[in-house]
């Protein structure tokens, strides 16, 4: 399973907690990152493409869909971790609260909830339900591309790989970075690869100073990284 983060959005550049539908589109760089995905994945035999309910994942998947002839299927369970009351904020208070919540979920503290948001248990349930729906459409050994979101992918990978915490510790995930998991929801996952930079090449990495859903060490607006 290829978990691919969407291309760069204006909200990523600004450091805004943009998690609700429909969400922002892609920047010019984000479009270039998306265009580079099919070539980067040319060696993969992709059986299906899946996206979240947010427009940026649909736009990111379009070039891969055009090359493979596959129609992306949307699952809202693949959406970003909801910012709740902090939606579209980019100040230190909001960003630190969001990042702290995500880091605690990644450590297994799933009872934690953001104001107006979801708990870690709710996030895990809806993300796994979406992945289970994906799995039902393909043989167990099939390779599927799932275009999702920075915090959601990083946190879910940490939850799924709790048996191997060193594999995910302090990992970032830039736009069109990719986490490759092998296995199954019922039997467990192993980490095959974690590409922190864009799959099309590190030269496509944009301004990540305030990209707070990609990197827990990114700085909120007004705070130097």
Q: Is 103 considered catalytic here?
A: no
Dist CA 52 CA 9 (whole Å):
15
Looking at 58, 75, 80, 210, which residue is catalytic? 80
Dist CA 98 CA 38 (whole Å):
32
Of the CA atoms within 13 Å of residue 51, those in its CB half-sphere come to: 21
Dist CA 63 CA 38 (whole Å):
7
If we measure between CA atoms, which residue out of 87, 168, 160 comes closest to residue 123?
160
Torsion sign, CA atoms 149, 154, 155, 157: positive
Dist CA 100 CA 86 (whole Å):
13
Query: Is the peptide bond between 114 and the residue preceding it cis, with omega within 30 degrees of 0?
Result: no
* Contact of 104 with 120, CB cutoff 8 Å: yes
Between CA 93 and CA 100, with CA 99 as vertex, the angle to 5 degrees is 85
Looking at 6, 75, 197, 210, which residue is catalytic? 6
Q: Is 62 considered catalytic here?
A: no
DSSP 142: -
Active site residue ranges:
6, 80
């Amino acid at each position: 399973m290829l978990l691919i983060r969407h291309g760069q959005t204006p909200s990523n550049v600004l450091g805004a907690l943009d998690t609700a539908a429909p969400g922002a589109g892609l920047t010019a760089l984000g479009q270039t990152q998306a265009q580079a995905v099919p070539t980067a994945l040319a060696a993969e035999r992709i059986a299906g493409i899946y996206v979240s309910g947010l427009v940026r994942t649909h736009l990111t998947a379009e070039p891969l869909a055009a090359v493979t002839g596959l129609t992306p299927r949307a699952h809202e369970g693949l959406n970003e971790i909801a910012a709740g009351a902090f939606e579209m904020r980019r100040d230190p208070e909001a960003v630190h609260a969001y990042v702290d919540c995500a880091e605690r979920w990644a450590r297994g503290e799933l009872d934690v909830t953001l104001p107006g948001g979801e708990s870690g248990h709710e996030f895990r349930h809806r993300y796994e339900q979406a992945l289970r729906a994906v799995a039902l459409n393909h043989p167990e050994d099939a390779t599927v591309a799932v275009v999702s979101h920075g915090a959601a992918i990083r946190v879910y990978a940490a939850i799924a790989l709790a048996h191997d915490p060193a594999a995910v510790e302090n990992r970032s995930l830039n736009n069109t970075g990719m986490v490759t998991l092998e296995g199954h929801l019922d039997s467990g996952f192993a980490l095959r690869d974690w590409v922190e930079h864009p799959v099309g090449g590190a030269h496509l990495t944009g301004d990540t100073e305030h990209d707070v859903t990609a990197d827990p060490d990114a700085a909120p607006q007004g705070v130097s990284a």
